[in-house]
C-alpha cells in the first residue's frame, strides 16, 4: 500500500488539528468525574457501594460507549469525509500520489485510532479516579479485567463507525449523516430490546460484549459468534464504503 503511511499521518494530523478532539477529551474527563461524584454520593447517602477502585472503570465504560464515544467517532468520520467534500479539500488529498484505497484505508484507520485512543484515555482517567476516590484496594486481576473490557469495546464501536463512514459516502450533507447515524443507533437499541432473540444482529448490542470477556467462565462459542458477526458486518461495511468512495465524483 504505497503512500498509506503518509496518508495516515496526514489524516491523523487533521484530527489533531480539530477542536473536537479537545472537546471529546474534556467531555470524557467530565463524564468520569460526574460518574465518580454519583458513585460517592450513592455510597455516602445509601451506604451502598457502586464500585470499588477496579470496578469504577467498568461503570464508566457502558456509559462512555453508548454516548460520548460513538458520538465523537461519528463526528470524526463525518469530518474526514463529508467535511472534506464540502470544504473542497478532498481534491487536494486525492491528487497526492496515493491510491484511493490507501486514502480510504488511512481515513478509516484514523477513525479506528481515534476510537482506540479515546477508550485508552478514558480507561486511564477512570482508573486514576477509581484509585483516588474509591479506597478499596484492587488486585492485579481487576486491572487486567478493566483493560480487557476497554480493549474489546473497540470492535463494536469501530464497526458502527464503519456504518457512519458508509453513510458519509452515500449522503452529501454531514448534518444528514449525523442524524441518520443517530436514528440508526437509537433504532438498533430499540430493535435489540423488541427482538431480543435477534439482538446479536444489531451491532449496538455488542457495545456491552465486554461483559463476556470478563466473565468468570468464558463462553468461547458465543465470543466466536459475536466476533465473526462483527467481522462479517465490518467487511461488508468497509467494502461498500470504499466502493462508494472510489466511485464518487468530486
Partner 1 sequence: MKTRGKWSKQSMVLLSFILGASLFVTTALADLAYASGYEQLKQAVKFTFAQMDSGLSNYTMESTFYMRAGDKTVYESTNVLKSDSVNKMSEEYAATTRVDGEVYNSHSYRDEQISAWKSSSDDHYYVTEYGKINDWRHFSDPFQGEEIRDIERIIDALVGNLKDNVLVDMGMDGGKIYSGSLSEAQVPALVNAVVSFLAKQQITSYSYSRETMTRKLAEDVYVKRVSGQAAEDETGLLTKMSGELVLSGLDEQGEPMEMVFGFAFQIKDIGSTAVIKPDLTNAVVEKPHTMHRFNKKHIGTYRNNIVIEQSDQYLKIGERTVEITDVAGSSVKGRYYETIDPKYADLYPKAALDFTFTAEQVDWLTIFEYTNEEGELRHGEIDIYEPGKIFLNLNMRYEDGHIYYEGEDLRDIYFDHQFVRVFE
Q: Judged by CB, which is closer to partner 1: 95, or 217? A: 217
Minimum CB distance to partner 1, residue 6 (Å): 21
Q: What's the CA gap between 27 and 33, in Å, rounded? A: 10
* Residue 87 vs 218, nearer CB to partner 1: 218
In the complex, what is the shortest distance from the CB of residue 26 to partner 1, in angstroms, rounded to a whole number? 24
For residues 67 and 246, which CB has a smaller minimum distance to partner 1 in the complex?
246
- Alpha-carbon distance of 203 to 158, in angstroms, equals 10
Would you list the DSSP string of 187-235? Answer: HHHHHHHHTGGGGGGSGGGGGGTHHHHTSSS--HHHHHHHHHHHHHHHH
- Smallest distance, partner 1 to C-beta of residue 43, A: 7
User: The dihedral of CA 87, 90, 93, 97: what is its sign?
Assistant: negative
Residue nearer to partner 1 on the CB measure, 6 or 240:
240
Instruction: Count Cα neighbours of 207 within 13 Å in the Cβ-side half-sphere.
Output: 25
Residues that bind partner 1 (CB under 8 A): 42-43, 46-52, 54-55, 58-59, 62, 136, 142, 145-146, 149, 192-194, 196-201, 205, 208-209, 211-212, 214-217, 219, 221-222, 225, 228-229, 231-240, 242-243, 246
Closer of 19 and 46 to partner 1 (Cβ): 46
Q: How far apart are CA 6 and CA 245, in angstroms?
A: 19
Query: Could you tell me the smallest distance in angstroms from the CB atom of residue 236 to partner 1?
Result: 4
- Torsion angle of the four alpha carbons 107, 112, 115, 117, in this order, in degrees rounded to the nearest 10: -100
Amino acid at each position: 500500500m504505497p503512500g498509506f503511511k503518509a496518508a495516515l499521518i496526514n489524516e491523523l494530523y487533521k484530527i489533531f488539528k480539530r477542536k473536537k478532539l479537545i472537546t471529546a477529551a474534556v467531555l470524557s474527563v467530565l463524564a468520569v468525574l460526574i460518574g465518580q461524584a454519583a458513585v460517592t454520593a450513592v455510597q455516602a447517602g445509601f451506604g451502598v457501594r457502586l464500585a470499588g477502585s477496579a470496578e469504577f472503570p467498568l461503570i464508566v465504560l457502558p456509559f462512555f460507549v453508548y454516548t460520548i464515544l460513538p458520538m465523537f467517532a461519528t463526528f470524526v468520520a463525518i469530518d474526514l469525509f463529508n467535511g472534506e467534500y464540502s470544504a473542497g479539500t478532498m481534491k487536494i488529498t486525492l491528487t497526492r500520489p496515493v491510491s484511493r484505497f490507501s486514502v480510504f484505508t488511512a481515513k478509516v484507520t484514523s477513525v479506528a485510532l481515534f476510537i482506540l485512543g479515546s477508550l485508552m484515555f478514558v480507561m486511564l482517567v477512570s482508573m486514576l479516579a477509581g484509585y483516588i476516590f474509591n479506597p478499596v484496594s484492587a488486585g492485579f486481576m481487576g486491572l487486567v479485567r478493566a483493560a480487557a473490557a476497554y480493549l474489546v469495546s473497540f470492535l463494536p464501536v469501530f464497526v458502527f463507525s464503519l456504518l457512519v463512514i458508509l453513510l458519509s459516502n452515500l449522503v452529501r450533507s454531514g448534518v444528514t449523516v449525523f442524524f441518520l447515524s443517530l436514528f440508526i443507533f437509537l433504532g438498533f437499541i430499540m430493535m435489540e430490546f423488541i427482538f431480543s432473540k435477534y439482538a446479536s444482529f444489531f451491532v449496538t448490542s455488542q457495545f456491552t460484549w465486554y461483559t463476556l470477556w470478563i466473565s468468570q467462565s468464558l463462553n468461547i462459542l458465543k465470543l466466536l459468534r459475536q466476533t465473526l458477526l462483527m467481522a462479517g458486518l465490518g467487511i461488508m461495511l468497509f467494502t461498500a464504503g470504499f466502493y462508494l468512495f472510489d466511485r464518487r465524483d468530486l
